[in-house]
Structure 1
Amino acid sequence: MNVTRHQMQQPEPTVVERPEQTYVGARRSVRMDAFSVIADRLPEIIGWLASHDTPIAGAPFFRFYAIDMEGESEVEAGVPVADPPEPEGDIIVGVLPAGRYATLRHVGHPDGLFDTITRLREWGTAAGLKWDVITDAGGVERWGCRIESYLTDPRIEPDMNKWEMELAFRLAD
């Protein structure tokens, strides 16, 4: 079997134990084809934290509460912090729950994340993992905790094809 160089460099999915993580964020219902509505909140939240002298304690992320590929999804833009300031306006303080998570890193443009998501889900299913998700009668997935963290700082690496992201889907056990 011939394996391309790209295939050899793809990271493998893993299961990790993650502690509870406090964060500051903003939540919104968005269509996936208008994701920039929530994505554009990350720089605003980071600026808000800076104006409140609050250090960032990890990679910015999107938390998916409900996913409806044909309609509106409930998504939160968030930034981890150790000691959050008081919320203001639609800026909230939340907690990512502790637990076991299936994780997989993606290197490349965010447009390629769908293939990485599919790969993680197929791997988890083949491994007999149970996701912390309920799918309703309309096909909407409601997740206990599903996050997409952006590990690359776009101010340092503006080429989106070189960005690194991590998917973390909480397991039901």
Structure 2
Amino acid sequence: MPQIVEFPERPYLGIRKTITMTTFGVVGDRIAGMIGWLAERGVALTGAPFFRYDSIDMAADRLVVQVGVPIGVPVEPDGDMFTDVLPAGRFVTTTHHGHPDQLPGVIDTMLKWAEAQGLEWDMTRKDGTEHWGCRLELYPTNPLDAPDPNDWDIDLQFRLA
């Protein structure tokens, strides 16, 4: 069951790419390298790696997505990496246990729950594209510990207006 949680600002190291649903690996495959880069510098993660959806245009199969890893200390980014902060605020959250392919149904249930509660998202629509203030998928399960994606936990956190 979704719930509303207040989160503080959360700093992170990220990479942003424009992708399609079939080219998700362009960002997803960068997580391990970012974690390794931070480990080489003695920087520990302060939470789960995540995808942050900046804009979604499903009709055109075009998404602007960030991959991020939360950090507690400042770092000087390298290459196409950058540092930023997830905004503070109220988020609708839910956890899914299972394969990421099942997320569309989980997201649909969460969106309908929020609509029934009369909640408004930190999101605007323009020309068929959703522009999100902060829409997150967090992956707390380490794939080295659970290589089968059916055994993963995935947290969704969508910021409210």
Name the TM-score class by shorter chain.
Answer: over 0.9
2-side partners of 1:117 and 1:35: how far apart? Answer: 18
Identify unmatched segments of 5+ residues in structure 2: none
Which region of structure 1 is more displaced relative to structure 2, 70-79 or 13-22?
Answer: 70-79
TM-score under structure 1 length normalisation:
0.90
1:128 pairs with 99, 106, 118, which one? 118
Match of 2:135 in 1: 146
In the alignment of these two chains, the number of paired residues is 160
> Which whole-Å deviations, capped at 9, do the CAs of 1:21-46 have from their partners, x for residues lacking one?
00001100001121111110111111
The runs of at least 4 consecutive aligned structure 1 residues that moved more than 6 Å come to none
Match of 2:145 in 1: 156
What percentage of aligned pairs have identical amino acids? 47
2-side partners of 1:17 and 1:150: how far apart? Answer: 19
How far the C-alpha of 1:88 sits from its partner, in A, is 1.0
**Which of the two has higher C-alpha Rg?**
1
Letter in 2 for 1:21: R
Letter in 2 for 1:65: D
TM-score under structure 2 length normalisation:
0.97
2:106 pairs with 107, 116, 119, which one? 116
The SS at the match of 1:59 is coil
Letter in 1 for 2:70: P
Considering only aligned residues, what root-mean-square deviation do their CA atoms show, in Å?
Answer: 0.8
1:65 pairs with 54, 60, 73, which one? 54
1:57 and 1:82 in contact (8 A); partners too: yes
How far the C-alpha of 1:145 sits from its partner, in A, is 0.4
2-side partners of 1:32 and 1:159: how far apart? Answer: 21
